[in-house]
A = this chain, B = another copy of it.
């Protein structure tokens, strides 16, 4: 499948590498077409890995991953262009972390609590099918659910049921996720984005990002 990835940081390249490894065709996008990290990333990936601008990557993909940093996502998506996102599944895994008020980070007030980054992206790009998922764990775990022992959960939410079904199938087939909890419409992103302040503290306690949440009933 042709997949566009927005963002050349650790999350974007980790997702991209996994998808190329699985045989998908991936274009990774950034602000400029000659982004050094993107050019470095494609080097050993073969013909199925390409790079371009945000707009190039979104135009290329059938599914788009938003792997830009949360505070910059809306601007990056504006550069991407609504026309390149229309009708497509936009998997949003960014978190609106606010590093301006010290560590560990808080959340950007205008993107949390009574709204969320996922919701604001959906509002700004109404023709995209935004699915929020993967944002509650480290990137190594995102693409490899067996990275921690035992059962654990991933959350999915979004307004388009068909898009969510598609994303659930991808999470299962490509990333090995077995237990997927559907939180309903995109407002569920408020819940999953707001567990980041606990996540960063658990990271401190565990001295490792290699953990995940399990809902026990």
**Chain A residues within 8 Å of B, Cβ to Cβ:** 101, 106-107, 109, 112-114, 148-152, 155, 181-184, 188, 190-192, 194-195, 197-202, 204-206, 208, 210-217
Q: What are 30 A-B interface contacts by the 8 Å CB criterion?
A: A106-B114, A107-B113, A107-B194, A109-B109, A109-B113, A112-B113, A113-B113, A113-B197, A148-B216, A148-B217, A152-B214, A181-B205, A183-B201, A183-B205, A184-B201, A184-B205, A190-B197, A191-B200, A191-B202, A192-B198, A194-B195, A194-B197, A206-B217, A208-B217, A210-B217, A211-B215, A211-B217, A212-B216, A214-B215, A214-B216
Closest to A199 in B: B191
Q: Which residues of B contact A149 (CB under 8 A)?
A: 216-217
CA of A29 to CA of B202, assembled, Å:
35
A150-B216, A183-B201, A184-B204 known; 9 new pairs, CB 8 Å cut-off, are A149-B216, A151-B216, A152-B216, A155-B198, A194-B195, A194-B198, A195-B198, A212-B215, A213-B213
Which of B182, B200, B212 meets A205, CB within 8 Å? Answer: B182
Report yes or no: A202 in contact with B215, Cβ–Cβ below 8 A. yes
CA of A199 to CA of B188, assembled, Å:
11
Overall SS of chain A's interface = mixed
Closest to A196 in B: B194
CA of A201 to CA of B101, assembled, Å:
28
Nearest CB of B to A73, in Å: 19
Nearest CB of B to A145, in Å: 11
